[in-house]
Amino acid sequence: MIKVGIIGATGYAGAELVRILSRHKEVEIKWYGSRSYVDEKYASVYRNMFEIVEDQCLDDNIEELADQVDVIFTATPQGFLGGILNEELLSKTKFIDLSADYRIKDVDIYEQWYKIKHQSPQLIKEAVYGLCEINRNQVTKATRLIANPGCYTTCSILTAYPLVKEGLIDPATLIVDAKSGTSGAGRGAKVPNLFCEVNENMKAYGVASHRHTPEIEEQLGYAAGSKVTINFTPHLVPMNRGILATEYASLVRKADGSLPTEQEIRAVYEKYYKDEYFVRVLPKGECPETKWVEGSNYVDINFVIDERTGRIIMMGALDNLVKGAAGQAVQNMNLMFGFDEKEGLELVPCFP
Amino acid sequence: MIKVGIIGATGYAGAELVRILSRHKEVEIKWYGSRSYVDEKYASVYRNMFEIVEDQCLDDNIEELADQVDVIFTATPQGFLGGILNEELLSKTKFIDLSADYRIKDVDIYEQWYKIKHQSPQLIKEAVYGLCEINRNQVTKATRLIANPGCYTTCSILTAYPLVKEGLIDPATLIVDAKSGTSGAGRGAKVPNLFCEVNENMKAYGVASHRHTPEIEEQLGYAAGSKVTINFTPHLVPMNRGILATEYASLVRKADGSLPTEQEIRAVYEKYYKDEYFVRVLPKGECPETKWVEGSNYVDINFVIDERTGRIIMMGALDNLVKGAAGQAVQNMNLMFGFDEKEGLELVPCFP
Amino acid sequence: MIKVGIIGATGYAGAELVRILSRHKEVEIKWYGSRSYVDEKYASVYRNMFEIVEDQCLDDNIEELADQVDVIFTATPQGFLGGILNEELLSKTKFIDLSADYRIKDVDIYEQWYKIKHQSPQLIKEAVYGLCEINRNQVTKATRLIANPGCYTTCSILTAYPLVKEGLIDPATLIVDAKSGTSGAGRGAKVPNLFCEVNENMKAYGVASHRHTPEIEEQLGYAAGSKVTINFTPHLVPMNRGILATEYASLVRKADGSLPTEQEIRAVYEKYYKDEYFVRVLPKGECPETKWVEGSNYVDINFVIDERTGRIIMMGALDNLVKGAAGQAVQNMNLMFGFDEKEGLELVPCFP
Amino acid sequence: MIKVGIIGATGYAGAELVRILSRHKEVEIKWYGSRSYVDEKYASVYRNMFEIVEDQCLDDNIEELADQVDVIFTATPQGFLGGILNEELLSKTKFIDLSADYRIKDVDIYEQWYKIKHQSPQLIKEAVYGLCEINRNQVTKATRLIANPGCYTTCSILTAYPLVKEGLIDPATLIVDAKSGTSGAGRGAKVPNLFCEVNENMKAYGVASHRHTPEIEEQLGYAAGSKVTINFTPHLVPMNRGILATEYASLVRKADGSLPTEQEIRAVYEKYYKDEYFVRVLPKGECPETKWVEGSNYVDINFVIDERTGRIIMMGALDNLVKGAAGQAVQNMNLMFGFDEKEGLELVPCFP
């Protein structure tokens, strides 16, 4: 039984951490950090937890918290952890950061896309990018700091990764058109996120400028072995949860000019994901749907080859709050502490 | 480890049984019955179960099924189980019926509201009405047949039960205005249940004629010790899951003409529900919301006294597919077989 | 062609005024008042009006505005108009107030329910309650000030009015269970109105304390000829527009103890609404649905008699932003200025 | 005043024709054709039309209908009009076909994508493709037969047309990722279109095989002056109305290797759409949203240049039932009969 603290426990990702960890057999939550609701009962802020969580919200006293717990999850705005993390804290406890502060290795790119001066760039190198299906070994060995991947990025990367890694698609042609439920926008009170503004509406946003772009590019660049530049367009969908990524790329033709076959592509996906519990490559002909993974840590993936254009259309679906945030953070924790990777995460998707 | 069969496994309530039972430690599902999808993989019908359930759907061969399993759940249309159940089947296995066939003790009332001739009225008497919080003893002792309560009825009854039982409200004044998500209408392909017909829409239906009315009346009649006649009005809400019951009744004044106080009413709710894991009486001032119980077996209850009119407004919220159907059925199974009543049901509500 | 000013033009009701008035043949909007968006293009705040409205938002300079226009619509928070209106302003222009400031004749009741000290109680008496179907003569004669009814109240009153007026129901038994789309909550950025909080959720609020209660009671009291006290419970529904009121009351039995018949009740509704363009009494058996009136100025009404309980269930549906706010305000303006009552309001409901 | 008949008046597109034409000053609807609801009152099928339309639905007697009206709208399944249309009918009345039967000039491509044998291929050549903003002259001159464009196609084509026509993008790189509300799936009772299946869900469908692909390719091919092959991926969104097309293409670099500028691109859009009432090119930085055009005949368009990849992201939004179906059909009728092109179509988008 380890002790856990959550900073940002009353945001949507933080609340999802509470939901998952409250049923995790190896964990006890000791600290529900929330600047906005200090001293209020957690269950009065998230009433789904009524009679499940009895604690009150606490302020973000990171020093005190670090002394008390074995791991701290930070579900906080960009720049928060980067601004306070240091050797002393890291010597006391482990950190799993759900923000972007330690995800991007090139601090210039981070500062350019996030418009934030990084306060602890010296720690970036140590941070392990916690995309378990790709970096499991490093995560398992990580002793102090995990950079938990973004929601769009987890979906976008896992969907294309095997084909990039094996050189089956041309990364320069990659276009990711992603659609997200509204919980991705957080619980801040803003007019564009009001029910009446989102319901019965569909829009793109952050076109050619969304911050998850360089994160996808960096990780796919490692897979490709060279710099990758892509188009990434997020869209807001009138639903609570779920991300669907529709990805387009030109297939690399064989020497004889022919395209890779359905079977060949499928074999590559199998190679990477056959033993991955949380990645489900669907049978031919079935398109991933966000509802089929809702509430779970699964990513559903499939693809269609378009012979006419020589492109492949890859599709991935996940729950942005689970595999795209809190579930993946718990998966990282499980690996770091040597627990069963699935502990607390055998959540069956809820339908309808 | 007991063996379980489900008839009607591809309806929404059946699918919820599969979701819950797939993580139940004492249970193995042996039979996924579905007339409409015989020989199809269950996971191709409900793709949330992909890589979780490997079985195919089977026809409704009740004789064969009864030989193989310890309990059969029937999530079937009204009249189905009533038409086939007999002593021989009951001697082989237990039945938990999610339809209304054995809920109403007075067969005339059943036939009048359901417009169905009951084919096995001799079995009604034996059936135990499986509202665990009220009939726990009988359920625990039930050896053969449970009539699992309806979704509206579970919500409506639990919300008013303590006050009816203790004589604090006048049952003749009881009005239940209930609102349900659309999964209550089932998975049948009908125009009124199409997305475009339900979305951005709100309506009453079955006004003064809905079949759950006599079921509520019978059970509250037992509590009141006399015949109860109520108004019950269901409404269709553009959401997947959830029932909210808003109930109105005149408070019985004390000898001095005063109304019962907030504390007195609350004490009565405490008396009945303090130790009930799945019933949460909310703190004063908080109204139940369906979202806070979604995906869980909880019922959230609260009330407001209106001094001006002398009425009490009681409110209850549950997930119609869990506490209103499959969750309650599993709770009944747990009691019948002597398992921990909460096994498989410690589902944390999913928000948002 | 008259000149019109709108204060509060960037709230949802104000925007609906703009939508309707932009196609009104007798009207030119001269002033788009909005404190929050002064000097911004109106069409950049409400982009549906792009290339339709070219004006910029102006501050709330009521003195200047009163000199320029023939009528001012105030779609403003409670207390705003009450705090600034005076004889001088009323001598210059007409006012149609969409807030509650002049709706309730008894200033004590207003102050008690709204927790606001009324700043101009001497003007309340003059104000005409602008429920056109009931007060058409007074509205037509109104020279200076209309109190435009609330959304819940318009629906609740019109649904029950004929039966109260004709003494067919006992007003002391009246219970109004109302359900509203989320636009009724306004465009303010508040957590409870975020998409993720409202979607897939249903709740009651303001139970036994909602401010529209005394407004309904006052108007139905005029109809009954005596003081009326009711229960009114509003609910929030995950949809943008629409109010559905489900109303319960005991029918007054005839001398022989029998209930009024379906035909008798229907005849009373016909008597009051047969010639009312905006009130549609539906054929027997059809329940009003909010979607069927969306975007229009219609109220759809119907009822069911429950012989078992002696109660009648009345149902009414309208679009809270049209007949419940802006549409009714325009209808009032049309009557005040002698225009065709339907001008600008022959909006066909949009389905689906 | 012309006389109009509608075949398929009880589908969603047919009902939208009724909504629009019921307020059109030059038109009288004489025939509400609906095989499924013969002899039922139209207003009992579409209750929004209660007290607006008094007629009953009639069978599809095309011979009789052709004698009675000046123009017939066919909002019917693929193959219907193709199977019955002939010279005799065309000699009696005009046809505006909302199906795909006469949209594609190459009958082989039609038969290949639609899996239907075309029964009247000799009439295809005469049919005018009724995309008014592009083919206004031909539509104006059309005497007998208009092929009304598809919903996805109208949006996809108008969004990219100016840049294809002017050679600013490479058509071989064009990828259209489109998102549609559920009314596009029609009113047929099918499980995948049930509320509970669509709500809280997002999916692609018809990947690399959707029938609107060749229609887009043909029309953009005319603009490009050469054969165009694209990727087109439709998605189903949990909303009633609206299509959003997000389109990606490589910009054609200038001789000096530089990309076209924002101003240059904008000038090209202006050139084509400046005088188009129903096309609104938004100010820089504003992304089209479906809600801002809902219920109207507008298409909102904008674009973002991505200097990093050399691609342009074009976005277009329309209401699939209006500009994507019925509204455009009425626009075509207006042009054919010499009415004001905007008559009946000055519908202000309804927000929220």
**Cα–Cα distance for residue pair B251/B172, rounded to 1 Å:** 11
N-terminal to C-terminal alpha carbon distance within chain C: 34
Please compute the mean of the pLDDT values over residues D312-338 and round it to a whole number: 98
**Cα–Cα distance for residue pair D234/D208, rounded to 1 Å:** 9
What pLDDT score does B60 carry?
86
The residue behind tokens 């002064």 is C38
What pLDDT score does D52 carry?
98
Nearest neighbour of B248 by CB, restricted to C175, C200, C237: C175
What are the CB-based long-range contacts (under 8 Å, 24+) for C85-92? C85/C120, C85/C123, C85/C145, C86/C120, C86/C123, C89/C62, C89/C63, C90/C123, C90/C144, C90/C145, C92/C66, C92/C67
- Complete DSSP assignment for C179-218: EE-GGGG-S---GGGBHHHHTT--EE-STTT-THHHHHHH
What pLDDT score does C297 carry?
98
Nearest neighbour of C48 by CB, restricted to D52, D183, D349: D349
Please compute the mean of the pLDDT values over residues A149-156 and round it to a whole number: 98
Interface test with D, best of B196, B198, B239 (most D CBs within 10 A): B196
Rounded to a whole number of angstroms, the distance from the CA of C202 to the nearest CA of chain A is 13
Note whether C200 contacts B240, CB cutoff 8 Å.
Answer: yes
Position B272, amino acid: Y
The reply to whether ipTM tops 0.90 is yes
Residue among B124, B117, B121, B119 at smallest CA distance from B95: B124
Residue C350 annotated to the active site: no
Rounded to a whole number of angstroms, the distance from the CA of B239 to the nearest CA of chain D is 8
Rounded to a whole number of angstroms, the distance from the CA of C162 to the nearest CA of chain A is 34
- pLDDT tens readout for residues A1-53: 999 999 999 999 999 999 999 999 999 999 999 999 999 999 999 999 999 99
The residue behind tokens 């003494």 is C167
Pair type for strands B203-204 and C27-33: unpaired
Note whether A50 contacts B282, CB cutoff 8 Å.
Answer: yes
Name every chain A residue with its beta carbon within 8 A of the beta carbon of D311: 175, 231
- pLDDT tens readout for residues D293-312: 999 999 999 999 999 999 99
Nearest neighbour of D348 by CB, restricted to C48, C282, C296: C48
Decide if pLDDT at A309 tops 90: yes
Nearest neighbour of B295 by CB, restricted to A23, A46, A350: A350
Decide if pLDDT at C60 tops 90: no
Whole-angstrom CA distances from A298 to A121, A327, D179 are 33, 9, 24
Decide if pLDDT at A141 tops 90: yes
Please compute the mean of the pLDDT values over residues D211-227 and round it to a whole number: 98
Please give the sequence-ordered ranges of beta strands (E in DSSP) within B194-339, or none if there are none.
Answer: 203-204, 231-236, 243-250, 279-281, 299-306, 311-318
Mean pLDDT score across all residues of chain C: 98
List all residues 6 or more positions away from A137 whose beta carbon is below 8 Å from its beta carbon.
none
Name every chain D residue with its beta carbon within 8 A of the beta carbon of A205: 287
Which one is catalytic: D57, D151, D196, D287?
Answer: D151
Decide if pLDDT at A145 tops 90: yes
Name every chain C residue with its beta carbon within 8 A of the beta carbon of D240: 352
The two tokens of residue D140 are: 């104006």
CB distance D13 to D321 below 8 Å: yes
List all residues 6 or more positions away from D185 whose beta carbon is below 8 Å from its beta carbon.
D192, D193, D236
Position B175, amino acid: I
Name every chain D residue with its beta carbon within 8 A of the beta carbon of C346: 23
Name every chain D residue with its beta carbon within 8 A of the beta carbon of C46: 351
Note whether C201 contacts B290, CB cutoff 8 Å.
Answer: yes
The residue behind tokens 């007629």 is D55
How many contacts (CB atoms, under 8 Å) link A and C?
56
Which one is catalytic: A57, A132, A151, A155?
Answer: A151
Pair type for strands C145-147 and C128-129: parallel
Nearest neighbour of C193 by CB, restricted to A183, A195, A239: A195
Position C168, amino acid: L
The residue behind tokens 């009246």 is C174
**Cα–Cα distance for residue pair A327/A17, rounded to 1 Å:** 7
CB distance A333 to A340 below 8 Å: no
Note whether C348 contacts D300, CB cutoff 8 Å.
Answer: no
The residues pairing with C341 across neighbouring beta strands, listed in sequence order, are none
**Cα–Cα distance for residue pair A223/A218, rounded to 1 Å:** 9
What pLDDT score does C249 carry?
98
The residue behind tokens 């309990």 is B71
Interface test with B, best of D195, D200, D236, D350 (most B CBs within 10 A): D195
Interface test with C, best of A191, A194, A201, A350 (most C CBs within 10 A): A194
What pLDDT score does C67 carry?
96
How confident is residue A60, by pLDDT bands cut at 50, 70 and 90? confident
Rounded to 5°, the CA angle B228-B232-B235 comes to: 165
**Cα–Cα distance for residue pair B20/B43, rounded to 1 Å:** 15
Rounded to a whole number of angstroms, the distance from the CA of A294 to the nearest CA of chain D is 9
**Cα–Cα distance for residue pair B185/D34, rounded to 1 Å:** 27
The predicted model scores a pTM of 0.97
Note whether B315 contacts C290, CB cutoff 8 Å.
Answer: no
CB distance D242 to D316 below 8 Å: no
List residues of chain B with CB under 8 Å from any CB of chain D.
12, 181-183, 187, 189-191, 193-200, 238-240
Note whether C352 contacts B200, CB cutoff 8 Å.
Answer: yes
Note whether A196 contacts C190, CB cutoff 8 Å.
Answer: no
- D316, closest residue in chain A (CA to CA): A203
Name every chain C residue with its beta carbon within 8 A of the beta carbon of B313: 204, 207-208, 231, 233
Residue among D180, D174, D181 at smallest CA distance from D313: D174
CB distance C4 to C334 below 8 Å: no
Name every chain B residue with its beta carbon within 8 A of the beta carbon of D180: none
Note whether C348 contacts D49, CB cutoff 8 Å.
Answer: yes
The residues pairing with A215 across neighbouring beta strands, listed in sequence order, are none
**Cα–Cα distance for residue pair D310/C224, rounded to 1 Å:** 73
Rounded to a whole number of angstroms, the distance from the CA of A239 to the nearest CA of chain D is 5
The residue behind tokens 């594609």 is D104
Which string of b and e fits C293-328 if b means at least 16 CB within 10 Å? Answer: bbbbbbbbbbbbbbeebbbbbbbbbbbbbbbbbbbb
Interface test with A, best of C180, C194, C236, C237 (most A CBs within 10 A): C194
List all residues 6 or more positions away from D187 whose beta carbon is below 8 Å from its beta carbon.
B191, B194, B196, D10, D11, D12
Note whether C311 contacts B246, CB cutoff 8 Å.
Answer: no
Note whether B208 contacts C305, CB cutoff 8 Å.
Answer: yes
Name every chain C residue with its beta carbon within 8 A of the beta carbon of B290: 200-203
The residue behind tokens 């190198």 is A125
Position D269, amino acid: Y
- Complete DSSP assignment for B134-156: HHHHHHHH--SEEEPPPHHHHHH
Note whether C46 contacts D200, CB cutoff 8 Å.
Answer: no
What pLDDT score does A68 carry?
96
Instruction: Give the distance from CA D280 to its chain's centroid.
Output: 16
Q: CB-based burial of residue D131 (10 Å sphere; 0-12 exposed, 13-18 middle, 19+ buried)?
A: buried
Mean pLDDT score across all residues of chain A: 98
The two tokens of residue C212 are: 């529209």
List residues of chain D with CB under 8 Å from any CB of chain A.
175, 177, 179, 181, 196-197, 199-205, 207-208, 229-231, 233, 235, 237-242, 244, 246, 248, 287-291, 294, 304-306, 308-309, 311, 313, 315, 317, 352
Name every chain C residue with its beta carbon within 8 A of the beta carbon of B300: none
CB distance D314 to D175 below 8 Å: no
Pair type for strands C279-281 and D2-7: unpaired
Give the 3-state secondary structure of residue D100. Answer: coil
**Cα–Cα distance for residue pair B71/B333, rounded to 1 Å:** 8
The pLDDT tens digits along chain B (352 residues) read 999 999 999 999 999 999 999 999 999 999 999 999 999 999 999 999 999 999 999 998 999 999 999 999 999 999 999 999 999 999 999 999 999 999 999 999 999 999 999 999 999 999 999 999 999 999 999 999 999 999 999 999 999 999 999 999 999 999 999 999 999 999 999 999 999 999 999 999 999 999 999 999 999 999 999 999 999 999 999 999 999 999 999 999 999 999 999 999 999 999 999 999 999 999 999 999 999 999 999 999 999 999 999 999 999 999 999 999 999 999 999 999 999 999 999 999 999 9
Decide if pLDDT at D60 tops 90: no
Name every chain C residue with its beta carbon within 8 A of the beta carbon of D44: 283, 286
Decide if pLDDT at C169 tops 90: yes
Which one is catalytic: C132, C151, C287, C350?
Answer: C151
- pLDDT tens readout for residues A62-106: 999 999 999 999 999 999 999 999 999 999 999 999 999 999 999
Note whether C203 contacts B287, CB cutoff 8 Å.
Answer: yes
Note whether D189 contacts B189, CB cutoff 8 Å.
Answer: yes
**Cα–Cα distance for residue pair B315/B220, rounded to 1 Å:** 16
